[in-house]
Amino acid sequence: MSQIDAYSGATIFDGASRHEHAVLLVQNGSVLDIVSEDDIPPDCTQHILGGGLLAPGFVDLQVNGGGGVLFNDHPNLDAIKTICAAHLAYGTTSLLPTLITDTPEVQKAAIAAGIAASKAALPGFLGLHIEGPHLSVARKGAHDPALIRPMSEDDLNALKIARQSLPFLMTTVAPESVSNAQIAALTAAGILVSLGHSDTDFDTATAAAIAGAGAVTHLFNAMSPLHHREPGLVGAALQSESLFVSLIADGFHVHPAAIATALAAKREPGRIFLISDAMPTIGTDLQSFTLNGRKIHREGGKLVLADGTLAGADLDMISAVRFMVGTVGVNVDEALRMASLYPAMCLGADTRIGHLKAGAAADMVHLDQTLNIKSVWRGGKKL
């Protein structure tokens, strides 16, 4: 029988509830059980954590870059390795490298890189998020309008084929650029369809959800707003019970009061979860970089184009958790769920990640009382 590692000395949050005076048992990279301190198996290796909170590793479904690398500029396996490594230090143990709207050639290279990462069983790699190019020019955000276009049958088939070789595949589309039949076909192929960068109306967005769309990308940003006569995509996202909704909690993309209102309004079982929407600045002192030939500046915690348009985020997941707790007023356990369990549920990956119940991957973060990261483990291996 292989070695059992026993982690004690910290409160254990398993993704649903807390366990005091308990021990987390790990074997072969997976959670074996959570037991009382009196039930530690003999001959196990004990790790005394010395206070704080042991929680599930974070799951980030929108990561454009990190460690000085932008996936669009380097759509290859080495870039994916760099991005996964950069975010691990901030508690993110699983992520989707994200390709922003680009040329068909770059998208093909990105998909090939994702397939290579999957074949290599790269730690932390969950699959890909293809954000665009099938969006709305009216709500383009930082996406290059010259590259935005409707989805063709060839585009549809390319994504369906890619999904066959990837653990997970997510794509952000606007109902203006895809049909409900295409959404249904993507969903039937096992692809998570997320609505975003869209000026659609409430009824059209609701119909897209009925057709199979499962999520909404970065709530409030680059989408038709909530109006009392036309609720838009924001209204559909909050009203729908089936749609999960991602959120950038950095204090720049969405006002804290709007976040609190959305949390109060969201109909479940669909949940609001956190994303970083991170760019290559994470883990570096970079002050600028380029996206589709346009310079993006790092200014006071945000990333902007020359005209002031927000271009992704200078954000990591533990900072987003601290913002939700310290500024929005969400309790710690719920903020942690928003960074781990809920995105895993959205993707359909919660059998293995997003929690610390028996059978889950031993992806863990050890936090102190002020939610600073003390240690990170992925698959039972400490950073």
Are 244 and 291 part of one and the same domain? Answer: yes
Taking CB atoms within 8 Å and a gap of at least 24, the contacts of 74-82 are 75/99, 75/106, 75/109, 75/110, 75/112, 75/113, 76/109, 76/113, 76/116, 77/113, 77/116, 77/117, 77/120, 77/122, 79/113, 80/113, 80/114, 80/117, 80/122, 80/125, 81/117, 81/122
Provide the total of helices (H) and of strands (E) in the chain, helices listed first. Answer: 10, 23
Split at pLDDT 50, 70, 90, the class of 2 is confident
**Phi and psi, residue 176, nearest 5°:** -65, -25
What is the 3-state composition of the chain as percent helix, strand, coil, each rounded to the nearest 5?
30, 30, 45
Is the pLDDT confidence value at 294 over 90? no
Q: What is the pLDDT of residue 292?
A: 81
Query: Which CATH number characterizes residue 362's domain?
Result: 2.30.40.10
265 has pLDDT over 70:
yes
Indicate whether 240 and 111 sit together in one domain.
yes
Residues 373, 289 share a domain: no
Q: What is the CATH number of the domain that holds 154?
A: 3.20.20.140
Rounded to an integer, the average pLDDT of 148-167 is 98
pLDDT of residue 336: 98
Whether 221 and 84 share a structural domain: yes
Write out the two tokens for 21: 């005076």
- Residue 291, CA atoms < 13 Å, CB-side half-sphere: 29
Name the burial class of residue 137, with classes exposed (0-12), middle (13-18) and buried (19+) by CB atoms within 10 angstroms of its CB.
middle
Residue 352 lies in a domain: no
Both 32 and 141 in one domain: the answer is no
The answer on 124 and 94 residing in a single domain is: yes
Q: For residues 310 and 304, is the Cβ–Cβ distance under 8 A? A: yes
Provide the residue type at 382 as one letter: K
DSSP secondary structure letter of residue 327? I
- Assigned token pair, 271: 């949940």
User: Hey, what are 103's tokens?
Assistant: 């040329």
Whether residue 305 sits in one domain with residue 372: no
- Return the higher-pLDDT residue of 282 and 293: 282
329 and 200 housed in the same domain: yes
Judge whether 276 lies within some domain: yes
- Residue 135 tokens read as 């969006």
- 226 half-sphere exposure, CB direction, 13 A CA radius: 12
According to DSSP, residue 39 is labeled G
pTM score, whole prediction: 0.97
- For tokens 């348009």, what's the residue? 309
Q: Would the pLDDT of 27 be above 90?
A: yes
Whether 1 shows a pLDDT value over 70: the answer reads: no
Same-domain check for residues 17 and 123: no
pLDDT category, 236, cuts 50, 70, 90?
A: very high
Please indicate, yes or no, whether residues 269 and 183 belong to a single structural domain of this protein.
yes
What's the structural domain count of the chain? 2
Q: Tell me the catalytic residues.
A: 277
Kindly state whether residue 174 falls inside one of the protein's structural domains. yes
The DSSP code sequence of 68-137 is TEETTT--SHHHHHHHHHHHHTTTEEEEEEEEES--HHHHHHHHHHHHHHHHTT-TTB--EEEE-SSS-G
Using N-to-C axis directions, what is the helix angle for 180-188 and 153-163, rounded to 10°?
Answer: 20
270 and 179 belong to one structural domain: yes
Q: pLDDT by residue (tens digit) across 58-88?
A: 999 999 999 999 999 999 999 999 999 999 9
pLDDT, one tens digit per residue, over 238-253 is 999 999 999 999 999 9
Digit-coded pLDDT (tens) for 334-364? 999 999 999 999 999 999 999 999 999 999 9
Asked if residues 126 and 352 have their Cβ atoms less than 8 Å apart, the reply is no
- Domain containing 316 equals 58-347
Helix (H) / strand (E) containing 366: strand 364-367
Among 93, 89, 26, 98, CA closest to 62:
98
pLDDT band at 145 (very low <50, low <70, confident <90, very high): very high
Three-state secondary-structure class, residue 172: strand
CA gyration radius, the chain: 20
Residue 204: what are its φ and ψ, rounded to 5°? -65, -40
298 & 311 share domain: yes
